[in-house]
Amino acid sequence: MLIDGKKISRKVRNSLKPRIETLKKDGITPGLAVILIGDNPASQVYVRMKKKAFKKLGLNSTTHKLPEDVQQAEVLDLIDKLNNDNNIHGILIQLPVPDHLDEMALLEAVDPCKDADGIHPVSMGKMVLGIEAPLPCTPHGILKLLQYSNIATEGKHAVIIGRSNIVGKPILNLLGQKEDFGNATVTLCHSRTKNIKEITKQADILISAVGRPEMITAEYVKEGVVVIDVGVNRVEAPETEKGYRLVGDVKFEEVSEKASAITPVPGGVGPMTISMLLYNTVYLAEKYGRPS
């Protein structure tokens, strides 16, 4: 089974429409502010896609583009203004930020009540404790992919490759929670893991978020595995118009022969990340929003 992220993403967005209508009747239009620093091409593409998705649902989205050499204090001033703007219900700092900035200090400066990306330390702490909070967008999107595809996680062995704060660590926690789409036994692999193939071949559900093009081949997986490929990697392809093509962490042609279900790249996890950003912004507007 091909796990179609575009199709499932549309279902998630459609489920938000009645909630958005109710908010608008109460004088609240959910609004997101994106802080984009520098000229990272991938970040600019992501921000445009996010803005388009918000506009399509009739939500407000503003982008604050700052120069590459902006100073920490100026970014903190902007965050403070957005924290105090009642028309803004979610704030997103597009990562990565330039090296001279303190990324964690910027993330911590966002009001947790406006944490649209679900990665503020307060939100992450609540997630670990099982307390309601906005969830990190990509891990939450993975759960939705499994849910809409009727893939059970209870009692399954889930193996995650990659230990980032944005994907690996949160999905490790979420899959282990006492929730309908948790209750899995979870193993986390990373760059220091020994005998990684022996571990990944035990996986009922394999989630790769390592950022290495087509690293996961058929010899990494067992028959019937469910594969969620979070990686989006550019590889040179001179024969194409763009000169490159996008591939995941998983060698799709090989692994799909053994998998019972698998996400494509592109069109798998990516669309879900944006949908969960919409989801979080609506959730925050419902919980903390005030009429304009």
Q: Which residues are known to be catalytic? A: 50, 94, 117
Look up residue 108 and give its two tokens: 């911590």
**Integer Cα distance of 109 and 106 in angstroms:** 5
Among candidate residues 288, 290, 292, 273, the one with its CA nearest the CA of residue 115: 288
Pairing, β 233-236 against β 244-247: antiparallel
Report the SS3 class of residue 236.
Answer: strand
Q: Contact, 166 vs 127, CB < 8 A?
A: no
Whole-angstrom CA distances from 181 to 100, 142, 171, 192, 288 are 39, 10, 11, 28, 26
**Helix pair 269-288, 137-148: axis angle to 10 deg:** 110
CB 249 within 8 A of CB 167: no
Q: E strand or H helix at 277, and its extent?
A: helix 269-288
> Using alpha carbons only, how large is the chain's radius of gyration in Å?
19
Helix axes 41-56, 269-288, angle to 10 degrees: 60
Neighbours of 204 (CB within 10 A): 19
CA 9/CA 44 separation, integer angstroms:
21
**Residues for the chain: how many in total?**
292
